[in-house]
Amino acid sequence: MNEEQVWILQAQRGDDDAFTKLVETYQRPVYNLCYRMLGEPEYAEDAAQETFLRAYRNIGRYDINRPFATWLLSIAAHYCIDRLRRRRLPTFSMDAETDEGYEIEIPDVSAPNPEAEAARSEQREQIHQLVQSLDSTDRAAIVLRYWYDFSEVEIAESLSLTVPAVKSRLHRARRALAKKWEDSSAQTGMERMPYETPAF
């Protein structure tokens, strides 16, 4: 039994300090999921706090044989989907992340020059905005796939979908993102020249 499982068992017995350790361990992935889902730091903070409250209330029902991260992120994803369905959230400014969020900037030692790094940063902003335009469940599937490396089976379990449905949603979402990416690139004059294909 690892340290995390010990904390979980202690939390299930009502130990608040053990649950706080779980909060400290998982605050970043939960907050990040909420931020990617809701797009705004204030909403993300509120959703992440609510996720942990729900987890606290339901920790007794958690099956220790399942990965805790999957269970917790599933709660967060469902909460964000419900919240997006309940109210229409506005489209957010591209500056939101730098204004309020705390993006973990890891210097890219492989960056050939600062311009390339700046372009990548701009791409990250652009993709964040495009992800906000997706349907809430598609958005959750994309976030779990790319930010958490969840397999299609794990996404299906987390979002209460079938594996073929997840596959179909991921395909649809990526096609939609690519279309918007192409359109926005054309609009901003940042269109990549045909010979400048991405490296694989």
CA dist 124 and 118 (Å) reads: 10
Question: 106 φ, ψ to 5°?
Answer: -105, 120
Hey, what are 64's tokens?
């220790």
Contact status, residue 28 vs residue 69, Cβ threshold 8 Å: no
Burial, 114: exposed, middle or buried (Cβ in 10 Å; 0-12, 13-18, 19+)?
exposed
Distance of closest approach, residue 181 Cβ to other proteins, in angstroms? 5
Q: Does 185 bind other proteins (CB under 8 A)?
A: yes
CB of 81 to other proteins, least distance (A): 19
Nearest to 142 by CA among 68, 53, 80: 80
Shortest distance in whole angstroms from residue 57 CB to other proteins: 9
Alpha-carbon distance 56 to 17, whole Å? Answer: 12
Chosen residue from 6, 24, 118, 153 binding other proteins by CB under 8 A: 24
Near other proteins by CB under 8 A: residue from 81, 135, 136, 147: 147
> Does residue 66 bind other proteins (CB under 8 A)?
no
Residue 82 sits in the site that holds other proteins (CB under 8 A): no
Number of C-alpha atoms within 13 angstroms, CB side, residue 2? 6
Q: Draw the binding track, 94-133, toward other proteins (x: CB under 8 A; -: no contact).
A: ---x--xxxxxxx-------------x--xx-xxx-x---
Q: Which helix (H) or strand (E) holds 109?
A: none
Question: Contact with other proteins (CB under 8 A): which of 49, 70, 129, 136?
Answer: 49
Distance CA 47, CA 34 (A): 6
Nearer to other proteins, 78 or 125 (CB): 125
Binding residues for other proteins, per CB under 8 A? 9, 12, 16, 20, 23-24, 27-29, 31-32, 35-36, 41, 44-45, 48-49, 52-53, 56, 60-64, 97, 100-106, 120, 123-124, 126-128, 130, 142, 146-147, 170-171, 174-175, 177-179, 181-182, 185, 192, 194-195, 197-198, 200
